[in-house]
Every structure is written in C-alpha cells, then in structure tokens.
Amino acid sequence: MKDNKLFKIGITGTVIAALCCFTPLLVILLTAAGLSALIGFVDYVALPALAVFVAVTVYALFRQLKR
C-alpha cells in the first residue's frame, strides 16, 4: 500500500470519526433509522475509531518523512 493512500485513508477516517464524535450527526442518523437504542454505545465505538485513524495518519506522516 502506498504511503499516500494510507495517509488519505487516515485523514478520511479521522474526519468522519471526528464528525461522529463531536457533532450530533451520528445520534440524528441513528434516531432517524429507528436505532436509538444504540446511542448509548456510540462512545464505545466512535472514540476508539477516532484514536485508530489518528494513529494511522501519524504513522503515514512519519513514513513519508522518513523517505
């Protein structure tokens, strides 16, 4: 996998996870879909996903700088 592709995946995932963590976007979508019972578990998924995508982005940056 190219470093540029890895960086793009990391940035895209970080932006999407940040939108779901820091805005009520995910809560509104789950409620509209009739899955409001899952709102209590959003923090258990969204925050670790944000951390993973930030780590992928940092890793891709370090690999690009190492070259």
Q: Which amino acid is at 56?
A: V
**26 touches 40 (CB < 8 A):** no
Q: What does pTM read for this prediction?
A: 0.76
Q: Which domain holds residue 42?
A: 3-66
Confidence of residue 58 (pLDDT cuts 50, 70, 90): very high
Q: How many domains does the chain have?
A: 1
Q: Which of 20, 22, 21, 39 is nearest to 30 (CA)?
A: 39
CA distance 61 to 64: 5
Sign for the CA dihedral angle at 36, 40, 44, 50 comes to positive
Instruction: Report the share of the chain in percent with pLDDT over 70.
Output: 96
